[in-house]
Amino acid sequence: MRTETRNEALWKFGAYIFLMVIVVLVLIPLYWMIVAATIPQSEFFSWPPRIIPGLQWFDNFQALQENIDFLNSMWNSIIISVSYTALSLVLCSMAGFAFAKYEFRFKEPLFYFILATLVLPIQLLIIPLFLLMVQIGWTNSYLAVILPWAANPLGIFLMRQNMKAIPDSLLESARMDGATEFQLYYKIALPTMLPSLAALSIILFLNQWQAFLYPLVILQDPQMYTIPLALAELVGQQRVYFDQIMVATSLAVTPIFVVFLTMQQYFIKGILSGSVKQ
Amino acid sequence: MALSAIRSRVRSLEAYQQLSDRVRYTRQDISAGIPEIPWLPYAYISPFFILFGIFLLFPTAYTLYLSFFNYLGVANEVLLSVTMGPVTVSIPQIANLEFVGLSHYERLVFRDGLFHTSLFNTAFIFLVQVPLMVSVGLATAVVLDSKFIRAKGLFRTLIALPVATGLVAYSTIFLLLFNDQAGLINYVLVQLGLSPVAWLGSAWGARMTIVLAVTWRWLGYNMIILLAGLQTVPEQLYEAAEIDGAGRWQKFRYVTLPQIQPVLLFVVVSSTIGTFQIFSEPYIITGGGPSNATITVVQYIYNQAFLQLNLGYASAVSVLLVIIVSAMSIVQIQYGGEE
Amino acid sequence: MATIDITKLRKEFGDDGEQIVAVDDFNLTIRDGEFLVFVGPSGCGKTTTLRCIAGLEDVTSGTIEFDGRDVTDQRARERDVAMVFQNYALYPHMTVRKNIAFPLRLSTKQSSAEIDEQVEDVADLLGIGTLLEQKPRELSGGQQQRVALGRAIIRDPEVFLMDEPLSNLDAKLRSKMRTELQELQSELDVTTAYVTHDQTEAMAMGDRIAVLNGGELQQVGTASEVYRSPTNEFVASFIGSPSINLFTAEVSGTTLSGPGGFEYTLEDGSLVTGRESVRMGIRPEDMRLEAGGAVPSTVTVVEQMGNENFLYAEMGDIDITARIESVMNPEEGTDVEFGFDESDLYLFDVNTSEALKTKTGETDVAYEKYIGETT
């Protein structure tokens, strides 16, 4: 009996140690980002390296702004990500509503056709999209980045699943109360599924916020760079300024951390809803 | 309380009331005027399908088409021109192409050494990274699912933090951490009395850097999915196994694993698809080097298409990659779904 | 308030290939201010009929008129009907106040102040005045039910439709709400169509009851009419609890003989003249233990209800039920005999199930006598 409880205690202790180690390993890179962003590059390359954060963040930021206009890139990222998310939410929720709550011809085949395209990877589309954008003169434009994935197969799938859960009687009741068909969509269906909309918004926004390969192909004018492109630009420069890169990186990840910490439940819902597609 | 008091005050203001009611009446009039549309569902889905067709279906088909051609340059010729009264709509040809049949594929499979290298690198990353990440992720999830663990939410939040970092952003951090001269990792190794590793300077080191970076970024993500899977396992199953005399390991082996098998399979398949699409990490951290030791297939596609403008050839690589990944997923699902 | 005329209503489901007829050749007039209950087993077409009246289903053929005005092709929102759903269908994202106000805000040109005032009146009437700022999920089942009612009555509709509104409540609350609903309906005097699968509820609530089966209307009448004079065997078996005992008897002359040695000679033999066999029905409450009675049987179970006993017995291969006084408590396995009055006997045609003879005797003599004395 006594060895039993000792084993148990040992196991519990080991479990905590294991979790601590994982947490430390996860946090080290983020901590290092803070250190490097707040000290001058010179101190960083000294040996041993400095491991306490400094107060140089703003100086490094000014240097970054002089080097490349990073705030402009943030602005581009915000415009693109927000409009993309809004547009995609409208498209996906409207189409998802029709697929969940109406009967029409070819409904099932159309839906399963969309589902099948869930597995198509992005690199299969990039070359024709590039040619298309060149041909219609849309390279270096916001629209060229916003439009292509706005009709999002995962989005329509999630919207349909969630709208199916809305009881028919709710819509019928609204019909009898005098609502038009369009009011059913925006006055009843949309407000009842705000959590799902929030989760989908997070998926869509994040995808666009960190998109790299496609914007890299389409946006060649530094004025149009999004955050990832600006970061890549910094990394690719003749002389690599780690202090500036880390300032830029901290600016890129901080807003998302805030969203993550304040809306974690929707974040997790988003991650999990992506995994139900199997 | 204060807010609702203000609101009721505002509500009682006549001007506000009239305005909001007037807006409502107008809306009622408009909606009463809308005729019933029998094709309403089509109106709901058409915006989606228009964008879907132009930006998803068409490009997919065109990639396949393009893989049988050589790209010669941007076309100026008009493919189709329709004149409707004063308006002329003309659809230009997308590109000047030269038909080459299957020769791209033939070259890819038999002669393109760099493609083979990129495929090997990707496969290496996959073979090391996916088992590492899935096993650590599963262990973390199982420990976190234990009843006795306090502050579960805090642990989960911390471990999932990397999920919120962008692919390029976190790559820059790893570029810094694994810097051969001034990186923290080498500093720690030296402090521990070990010799520093040429992380970015050697083939093995560079590949391992990518592996560790990707594992860091996706560990929490997969742990969340696995944890959700674990939480659906009914408690009675564990209790029944315990009554049957099962120890900790046996409970894991005979209850947990079979119960979360579908979730585990999903994690493996999606991680596989993910690793075969790696691009940002080698692009930022290693640039594909040293001497192409970490160039991935997608990076090769990018180089071929947008640095050398071999768009036809790059399309063939894309198609081949999709075929390889689909085949692997099918094998995994077949094998993993057997039990 | 309106009279509802339903003429030759037919509703089919499924557009290509296989058609399912949910309602067929349905004719019914619901009188102005009447409380009419549709009752029947599941799948009998009662809900479909209600939804056709509501305008939630397009009818295949036939017409529906409100006060002579043809509404068959009108949409739900144009018909001025209100409906209470089984799951209440409260809008989860709106407060009680907004839920109740919703129909007015969508379809009337009243000012916000007027609407607010009405919402509060209705809420007070239903005893939910203190809940106005809460969301539906914070309310109990009974409170949600009241909100749903409030949303229906605030529009002062011509027609009130209710689809099993009480079935999500527990037994005690259900009987309380039954009474409340009836009081409310008679106060508002709105034509009401009410759907339930529970015949007790139907009997208790309806001014008249419409019994449906297999998409066809079987009978319309007051509770006493459908109980005492069912038009066919289905209605007789569906109405009444426990349900009527039914079996087939052979006819020879005026004597009926059935399973397990049942034998009964009719006083009025003309009822079965020219028939070889007939379906017989005797209600459990009309059976009495009687030595030498026509129904010989073996007791299987006695259920004691306190005020009375339910006696389950076998007559040959037929299960029969009798309601007897609680002092009578035969042991299981004993052979007993039941008697009955011919005036309480039901007879049905073997082939068409049409009623040949229904109840003419009184169920509660004491009450009839009381009524006779007081008037």
The pTM of the full predicted model, rounded to 2 decimals, is 0.84
Same domain, A99 and A175: yes
Chain A residues whose CB is inside 8 A of the B162 CB are 26, 29-30
Same domain, A69 and A49: no
- Mention every residue, 6+ apart, whose C-beta is less than 8 A from residue C203: C209, C223, C226, C227, C239
pLDDT band at B87 (very low <50, low <70, confident <90, very high): low
Same domain, A150 and A33: no
Q: Look up residue C250 and give its two tokens.
A: 């052979």
For residue C13, pLDDT beyond 80 = yes
pLDDT: which is higher, B33 or C133: C133
pLDDT: which is higher, B47 or B90: B47
Name the residue facing A30 among B58, B161, B228 (closest C-beta).
B161
Per-domain boundaries in chain C: 4-234, 242-374
The DSSP result for chain A, as a single string, is: -HHHHHHHHHHHHHHHHHHHHHHHHHHHHHHHHHHHHHS-HHHHTSSSPP-S--S-HHHHHHHHHHHS-HHHHHHHHHHHHHHHHHHHHHHHHHHHHHHHH---TTHHHHHHHHHHGGG--GGGTHHHHHHHHHHTT-TT-HHHHHSTTTS-HHHHHHHHHHHHTS-HHHHHHHHHTT--HHHIIIIIIHHHTHHHHHHHHHHHHHHHHT--HHHHHH--SGGG--HHHHHHHHHTSSS--HHHHHHHHHHHHHHHHHHHHHSHHHHHHHHHHHHTT-
Q: Please identify, among A55, A73, A96, the residue that sits at the C-terminal boundary of a domain.
A: A55
Please name the residue of chain B whose CA is at the shortest distance from the CA of residue C109.
B25
Same-fold call for C4-234 versus C242-374? no
Q: Under a CB-based contact definition with an 8 Å cutoff, are residues C344 and C282 in contact?
A: yes
Same domain, A35 and A90: no
Q: Are strands C61-66 and B69-74 parallel, antiparallel or unpaired?
A: unpaired
- CATH class of the domain defined by B105-336: mainly alpha
Chain B residues whose CB is inside 8 A of the A234 CB are 172
Other residues' Cβ atoms within 10 Å of the Cβ of residue B258: 13
Radius of gyration of chain C, Cα coordinates, nearest whole angstrom? 25
Question: How is the beta sheet containing C277-282 ordered, strand by strand?
Answer: C263-265, C255-257, C245-252, C277-282, C346-348, C355-357
Total domains in the fold of chain A: 2
Same domain, A144 and A23: no
For residue B1, pLDDT beyond 50 = no
User: Is B16 in CB contact (< 8 Å) with chain C?
Assistant: no
Chain B residues whose CB is inside 8 A of the C106 CB are 28
Same domain, A127 and A179: yes
Chain pair A-B, CB pairs under 8 angstroms: 285
Other residues' Cβ atoms within 10 Å of the Cβ of residue A52: 7
Residue A164 to chain B, least CA–CA distance (Å): 15
pLDDT digits (tens, 9 = 90+) for C211-239: 999 889 999 999 888 998 999 999 999 99
Same domain, A229 and A151: yes
Q: Does domain C242-374 have CATH number 2.40.50.140?
A: yes
Residue C232 is classified by DSSP as B
pLDDT digits (tens, 9 = 90+) for B196-230: 888 888 889 999 999 999 999 999 999 999 999 99
What pLDDT is attached to residue C316?
Answer: 86
CB contact under 8 A, C89 and A167: yes
Please name the residue of chain A whose CA is at the shortest distance from the CA of residue B145.
A15
CATH of the domain at A195: 1.10.3720.10
Mean pLDDT across chain A, nearest whole number?
87
What pLDDT is attached to residue A277?
Answer: 40
B174: left (phi over 0), alpha (psi -120 to 50) or beta: alpha
CB contact under 8 A, C89 and A188: no
pLDDT more than 90, % of chain C: 34
Same domain, A135 and A264: yes
User: Is B28 in CB contact (< 8 Å) with chain C?
Assistant: yes
Name the residue facing C56 among A175, A183, A192 (closest C-beta).
A175
CB contact under 8 A, B140 and A18: yes
Domain that holds residue A222: 64-275
Chain C residues whose CB is inside 8 A of the B18 CB are 111
Per-domain boundaries in chain B: 2-33, 72-100, 105-336
- Among C155, C176, C174, C156, residue whose Cα is nearest residue C165: C174
Same domain, A260 and A157: yes
User: Is A175 in CB contact (< 8 Å) with chain C?
Assistant: yes
Same domain, A82 and A151: yes
What pLDDT is attached to residue B339?
Answer: 44
Same domain, A73 and A41: no
Residue A163 to chain C, least CA–CA distance (Å): 14
- CATH class of the domain defined by C4-234: alpha beta
What's phi and psi for C313, nearest 5 deg?
-145, 165
Q: Please identify, among A55, A83, A100, the residue that sits at the C-terminal boundary of a domain.
A: A55
Per-residue pLDDT, averaged over C269-296, amounts to: 87
The DSSP result for A209-262, as a single string, is: HT--HHHHHH--SGGG--HHHHHHHHHTSSS--HHHHHHHHHHHHHHHHHHHHH
Whole-angstrom Cα distance, residue B285 to residue B299? Answer: 13
Same domain, A70 and A153: yes
